[in-house]
Amino acid sequence: MTPLEAELTAALAESQRQVAEFRQENELLRRKIDALVKRIFGTRSEKMDPAQLELFMAGTDPAEGTSSAATGDSLKKSPAVAPPASRPKPDRRPRLPEHLPIVEEIVDPDVVLANPAGFRFVSQVVTEQLDFVRGHFLRRHIIRRKFAPIGNPEAAPIIAPLSILQERCIAAPGLLAGIITGKYCDALPLFRQEKIFKTRHGICLPRQTMARWMSMTAFWFTGIYKEIRKGVLADGYVECDETVIKYLDPGHGKTRQGYLWVLHRPGGDTVFHWFTSRAATCLEAIFPADWTGTIGCDRYSAYNSYAVARNAAAYGPGFAIDLASCLAHIRREFVDSIAEAPIRAGWIIRQMAHLYQLEETLRNNKSSPVLRGAARAVVAGPILRRLEKAIFLFIASGRHLPQSGFGKALQYASNAIGGMKSYLNDGRVEIDNNLVENEIRGTAIGKKNFLFFGSGEAGDHSAIIYTIVTTARRRGIDPEAYLADVIRRLPSTPATQMHTLTPAAWAAEQKAKPAAAPAAAAPVHTSSAA
C-alpha cells in the first residue's frame, strides 16, 4: 500500500468513526427531544397498564434477549386482583346538604295580591335551589366602655384590654384570614385580591398594605409554627424535598432562586422552611444537632453530604442519620426509557409493580409498622435483591451507553437501590416520597400566579403561613375559620400555651363542641312579577 493509499484509508476510517459518533449523538438527542415533548405535552401519570408491559416484554430482542430463567421472573401475566364483592347501594343522598339554613321566598300571583279576599289557599309547590351570597365587608366597632369604682373618685377608670395583633391596625381577624386563605389556599396573589376588593366591593386595600399584614401575621404564627415543627421531628422519620421559588433581591434588579424545603411526617403534619440556597448547610439548619432518625429523600447530593458529616461526628454505634431512597424516582427513569430497552426496562418496572402491589395491600388492610416490616421482609426482600442483582448485571454487560436514557436509569438505580434497605428494615418508612411531593403541589400553583416572593424575608413569612395552612387542610378543617379564630385568640394566649392553637388541637376542640342548630331565616314575600 502506497503512502497515499494508507493516508486515504486512515482518513476513511476516521470519517466512518466520526459518522458513527454523529449518528450515536443524533440518536441520543432525538431521544431527549422525545422525552421532553412527552413531559410537556404527554400524560403526567406514570401508571402503566399491565397489558402494555406484556406488549413490550413479548417476543425476543436479539440485542437484549433474556429468558425468564436468567431474570428469575416469569413473563406470564400476573393474576388480576379479585374485584371486591358487590355492596348494596346506599340510599340516595339528598340533593342539598341538610345543615344549610333555609330562606323561603313566597311568590304569589299578581291577581291574588291585588284581591286577597277573593281567593283561598289550596296548596303550594316548593322548588328547591342552591344559592350563594358572596362575602361582604363591614365596619366593626369595638366599644370598650370605661368604668370608675363607686365611692373612690380618685381611682383611675378601668377599661378592657384591646386584643388585636398590632396597635392601630384596621384589619380584623376575619379579613386577615380571608386574605391568607385567598393567597395560600386559593393561589390568589395580593395584586389580584387588591383588584377584587376595589372593583367588586369598592374597598381600596393596596397590596403593599396587605403584604405588611402578612408579615405581621407570620410573626404571630411563629409559636404555632415551632409546635408543628416539633411534632414533625418527634417520630424520628420524615420525608424531605425542596422546590424552587424565585425572590426579589434588592440592588440586583432581577429575581434569584430560593428554595422551600419541605418536611413531612407520614400520617402527620408538614413544615416548610425557606432558604436562598440548596446546599447541605440548609439541612444543618433544618434538623436540630441532636436529632437522629431516617430521612426519605431523592438522590440529591446535599442529603448524602449532610448524612456523611453527621454520621462521622456521631458517637456510639450505628448511624445518626439514615437515608431512605424513593422507589418512585428510580421507577420514573425506567418508565422514560422503556422504548430504548423494552424487555429489560419492562422487567424492572414489573418487579417494582410487585412491590407497589404489596404496599397497596398493606395500606388497604391498615397494617401496623410491625406487620408491614414482617411482610416486606418475606415478600419485598427477595424482589429487591433480585432487582439489585439484575441492575448491576445490566450495567456490567456494557450494552447500554452511559449517556442513553436507559444507561442513566441504570446508573441512578445502582446508586439509589442500596437506600431501599431502610424500607425493608423499618415498617414506618414509605416506599417512596410521593406524600411529601403531594404537599408541595399547593405551592406549585401559587408560584405560577404570584411568580416570586417580594424579598428573602417574605420567603420566611410564606414558609410559616404555608405550614399553618397546609397542616389545617390536612386535618380536614376549614382554613379560613381556623385562622380567624386563632388570630382572635393569639394576643391573649401565652407563649407556653401555643400548643393549644395548633390545627390538631383546634380540630379536637371543635369536635368536642356540640353541634349548633342552624338558624332559620325569615321568609321573603314577593309577587309573581319579581
What are the residues facing 526 on neighbouring strands?
Answer: 107
Angle, to 10 degrees, between the axis of helix 190-201 and the axis of helix 173-184? 120
- Exposure string of 340-350, with b = 16+ CB inside 10 Å and e = fewer, is bbbbbbbbbbb
DSSP secondary structure of 122-175: -------------------------B--TT-TTSPPB------SSTT----HHH
Q: Is residue 249 within 8 Å of residue 256, measured between CB atoms?
A: yes
Per-residue tens of pLDDT for the chain, all 530 residues: 788 878 888 888 888 888 888 887 787 787 778 777 776 766 655 665 555 555 555 544 434 444 444 444 444 444 444 445 555 665 555 567 777 788 888 888 888 889 888 888 888 888 777 776 667 888 888 888 888 888 888 888 888 888 888 877 888 888 999 999 999 988 888 999 999 989 988 888 899 999 999 999 999 999 999 999 999 999 899 999 998 888 877 766 688 888 999 999 998 899 999 998 888 999 999 999 888 999 999 888 899 999 988 888 765 556 788 999 999 999 988 888 888 888 898 999 999 999 999 999 999 998 899 999 999 999 999 999 999 999 999 989 888 888 888 888 999 998 888 889 989 988 899 998 989 988 888 887 777 777 778 777 888 999 999 999 999 998 889 999 999 999 999 998 999 999 999 999 999 998 888 765 555 556 666 555 54
Q: What is the 3-state secondary structure (H, E, C) of 19-88?
A: HHHHHHHHHHHHHHHHHHHHHHHCCCCCCCCHHHHHHHHCCCCCCCCCCHHHHCCCCCCCCCCCCCCCCC
| Complete DSSP assignment for 226-261 | HHHHHHHHTTSEEEEEEEEEEEE-TTSSSEEEEEEE
Nearest to 487 by CA among 229, 226, 219, 209: 219
Return the number of other C-beta atoms located less than 10 Å from residue 175's C-beta: 21
Going by C-alpha positions, the residue among 490, 460, 445 that lies closest to residue 184 is 445
* Exposed e or buried b per residue across 52-80, where buried means at least 16 C-beta atoms within 10 angstroms of its C-beta: ebeebbeeeeeebebeeeebebebeeeee
List Cα–Cα distances, 165 to 168, 206, 332, 485, in angstroms: 9, 19, 48, 13
Q: Burial-class residue 399 by CB neighbours within 10 Å (0-12, 13-18, 19+).
A: middle
Whether 80 and 381 have beta carbons less than 8 Å apart is answered as: no
The Cα 493–Cα 510 span in angstroms is: 18
> In angstroms, rounded to a whole number, what is the distance separating the alpha carbons of residues 6 and 214?
78
* Whole-angstrom distance, CA of residue 9 vs CA of residue 236: 67
> Do the beta carbons of residue 133 and residue 166 sit within 8 Å?
no
**Please, are residues 413 and 333 in contact by the beta-carbon 8 Å criterion?**
yes
